[in-house]
Structure 1
């Protein structure tokens, strides 16, 4: 029997792509989730909750590599702590975490929780790898679509992103899972730095219905952090090849086929 790779969040937006790639590489996969599905060839689904800390010992039994992709609006730090403790007890050889670019710099709870999750891995005694990735196009897409359809589209000044395609993030995570522990690896971001106006212009170019824009300013510490580019990658980041225009073309093609696109789930 092959040693499976454990993937938390393996049925989520990123996780499902990673699992597909691991299976293509010939690896058996064990997926931990609160509501496990029926098993499939090469894929075992087991119950557990990383935030509550339940089911982890059984999920880690016989596992050497763990990809921690489960996440949410709250509790990522708690989940990573529980998983790191359980992995140390189980003698796990490699613990991999997906984090977010700017984790230690942005004054937002989600970013701070990701930074604390990184610390949990680093202090676990388990060999580890952390990949910080920019926001996916999938998460930028519904926000831009909403703004683009408003009669007067608000455009926050100084708000820039480096969104990245989910396929490129999944490919990198699968590569890391098949490799040796590497600590903090290069950030992974998209090929472009895009402000809200550029994101809107790209949307309107593909889907039409161009509307007037209303410049606005994000106040407080969060606004300052975005204007200072604290959410952007430092030099040396790995940049993907799939741009915003290509992603929009994919959405346009899906719309023409009548494909209903679900809201992306947390990683």
Structure 2
């Protein structure tokens, strides 16, 4: 098996991908901006996408780069990491003769008029046009994201919700499984999409979450303004791609909160 560098190894997805790659027999090099001790079979390296410091050493000798790192909703720093940092990483990978750069992106970046999605689309272009063999994996929103969003919303006594917003959330374990397959398959020079096993409305997802957590709130139906929410209502964050993930929202909630 090959040596694989994973950027964003400490993130929500990275914490699942690193052990999945190791379990598949890969020599995993996990990257972070600060020094870390290994807690599994991986080796940790220190590098910074925003400055480029340490990137040449991080990619030296690896066969595949799995690029998960991102810095959403942090204004100028987001572009320094997601766009300029991706360009630096691809350039370093090309110079080192890396066989495959695999970028993690989001379903809908080409259809939803949202600033961060435009940034991710630019990152995709850096990978596709950067001169190294590549694959882009777009996944729908993670269950963890919905969980965090609903926890924040239900701090309010009344929850405003656009019930017609549609999502197809996916479990990070399903994303990790596909990433392992894509590493083994080699560069596709194409974009692959993955969604969860079912499309949910905002209302359905929230009510399942409240039943699982035991939190009760009154829901105030609203129609969210603007082109971005219109795109979400139209299903721009969903995908017809097959196969889908297999783990459901209900199963995720049962694992996390112990209720059925």
TM-score, normalised by the number of residues in structure 1: 0.88
Matches within 5 A, 1:1-267: 4-39=3-38, 42-73=41-72, 74-75=78-79, 76-148=82-154, 150-233=156-239, 235-253=240-258
In terms of mean alpha carbon deviation, does 202-211 or 170-179 score higher? Answer: 202-211
Instruction: Tell which deviates more after alignment, 141-150 or 159-168.
Output: 141-150
Query: For the residues of structure 1 that align with 2:114 and 2:35, how far apart are their CA atoms?
Result: 31
Report deviation, 1:210: 3.6
**Residues in 1 aligned to 2:217 and 2:64: alpha-carbon distance in whole angstroms:** 49
Contact 1:186 1:238 in 2 (8 A): no
Find the aligned partners of 1:230 and 1:184 in 2 and give their Cα distance: 20
Take 2:24 and 2:254, find their aligned partners in 1: how far apart are those partners?
A: 29
Take 1:4 and 1:134, find their aligned partners in 2: how far apart are those partners? Answer: 27
Moved more, 95-104 or 83-92: 83-92
State the Cα distance separating 1:187 from its structure 2 match: 1.0
| CA distance in structure 2 between the aligned counterparts of 1:99 and 1:169, rounded to whole angstroms | 11
* Greater relative contact order (CA < 8 Å, ≥ 6 in sequence): 1
- Which segments of 5 or more consecutive residues in structure 2 lack a partner in the other structure? 73-77
Question: CA RMSD for the aligned pairs?
Answer: 1.9
State the secondary structure of the residue aligned to 2:185: coil
Change (3 A) 1:194 1:3: closer
Kindly state the Cα deviation for residue 148 of structure 1 after the two structures are TM-superposed: 4.2
Check whether the contact 2:167–2:232 (CA below 8 A) recurs between aligned residues: no
CA apart distance, 1:50: 1.3
How many equivalent residue pairs? Answer: 252
How far did residue 149 of structure 1 move?
A: 5.4
Q: CA deviation at 1:102?
A: 0.7
Superposed CA deviations along residues 56-80 of structure 1, whole A, max 9, x for unmatched, are: 1111111111100111112212221
Does structure 1 conserve the Cα–Cα contact (< 8 Å) formed by 2:103 and 2:136? yes
Task: Answer whether contact 1:27 1:42 (CA < 8 A) is retained.
Answer: no
